[in-house]
Structure 1
């Protein structure tokens, strides 16, 4: 792993990461089997395949969720600026409804963490009232 210039990697399937047990971060290649086994144990199956991502040094609590509804992007607060990387990402997705999660690295570079089909488990910084407003626009 050090030959790739990274100390740690994040393991998930095409849908979710492991949020129980030891989690989805590995520091040694030998750990991948245990992580995959735990994913199968707690979730019943591996969905689609396995993804391996670099772990980056992100600003704690900087993750934000954006929603796209019928081609229009929304932030958790009306008038809040939507980062260019989120706009660029959303322009490539041809779906009537989806979410885009972004985070800021320590060097202030914005990164896309995840793109979802909108079936999210939490609104991540959104009020229910603000989310409901998306459907009247």
Structure 2
């Protein structure tokens, strides 16, 4: 149950009406697992990005691509990601499933894309030539990461 605070305020007046589509989807697919991320998680990811960047960045939420990468890193031992960091054939195409071109989709206008991509590149365990030619990075799952104390 929600108590008073920012989460209850967001629930009462969300930025986007996700509850109606959620209810409709659940009616059509009642047995399919469906997850909603806690809004605090999104801002914890932003804190992670800011904590790995020397300069202050605008407090905008991370992209769905970055959120997906981090989710996969929590579920898998190793994650292979293609064209999140654009290869030499970079095209300014915003999403693979649409034909909308904009340089802001590569560098970021609303989301901290540039900083997300720099962090993913730092975590990459693959070869630099694969990043350049295929836009491919290989990321360890969280279970494989050893943090220095």
**Could you say whether these structures have the same fold, taking a TM-score greater than 0.5 normalized by the shorter chain as the test?**
no
Greater RCO (CA < 8 Å, at least 6 residues apart)? 2
TM-score by length of 2: 0.26
Q: Judging by fraction of residues, say which structure has more strand.
A: 1
Which one has the largest radius of gyration? 2
Q: Judging by fraction of residues, say which structure has more helix.
A: 2
